[in-house]
């Protein structure tokens, strides 16, 4: 049986929290469809082209898409790819205010295919994400 794959969208400033969540999934046998975190220095345009294609492929190849807040432009593009390709989606936020920008939210955060987990403690959030991800994939 092939390994289940996850993808985590977030920002470069959130790399430590992405690693905590990824570690929880990896320790239970999941595979990371694309780990973008080593590419924190963006480099030249050619490397950006390659990284962006790898990110698109990572989203398309995953079984579960996670978006960890705070999230910026690239994460929202990835969210759109995940929605359009029918992936199960989990938004992970420390609190409800993370879903607001200048007092506004994004309608796609409330799409019927999007599931939201709110938890301030990143370790607990990682455990909840793993549990919910398993439920979304198994339907149990």
Cβ(10)–Cβ(67) under 8 Å?
yes
pLDDT score at 65:
98
Can you list the residues of the chain whose pLDDT is less than 50?
Answer: none
Contact 21, 133 (CB under 8 A): no
Domain residues of the chain, as ranges? 5-138
* Sequential DSSP letters for the chain: -PPPEEEEE--GGGHHHHHHHHHHHHTTT-EES---GGG-S---HHHHHHHHHHHHHHHHH-SEEEEESS--HHHHHHHHHHHHTT--EEEEESSGGGG-BTTB--GGGG-TTEEEEE-SSHHHHHHHHHHHHHHHHH--
pLDDT of residue 85: 97
* pLDDT at residue 1, rounded to an integer: 65
According to CATH, what is the number of the domain 5-138?
A: 3.40.50.1220
Tally of CB atoms within 10 A around 19 = 16
State the pLDDT at residue 100. 78
């Amino acid at each position: 049986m092939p390994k289940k794959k996850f993808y985590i969208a977030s920002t470069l400033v959130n790399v430590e929290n992405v690693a905590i969540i990824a570690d929880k999934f990896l320790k239970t046998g999941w595979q990371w469809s694309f780990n973008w975190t080593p590419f924190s220095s963006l480099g030249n345009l050619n490397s950006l082209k390659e990284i962006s294609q790898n990110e698109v492929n990572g989203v398309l190849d995953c079984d579960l898409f996670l978006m960890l807040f705070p999230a910026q432009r690239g994460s929202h593009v990835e969210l759109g790819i995940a929605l359009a390709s029918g992936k199960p989606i989990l938004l992970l936020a420390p609190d409800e205010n993370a879903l607001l920008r200048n007092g506004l939210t994004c309608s796609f955060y409330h799409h019927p295919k999007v599931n939201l987990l709110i938890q301030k403690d990143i370790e607990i959030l990682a455990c909840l994400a793993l549990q919910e991800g398993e439920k979304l994939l198994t339907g149990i």
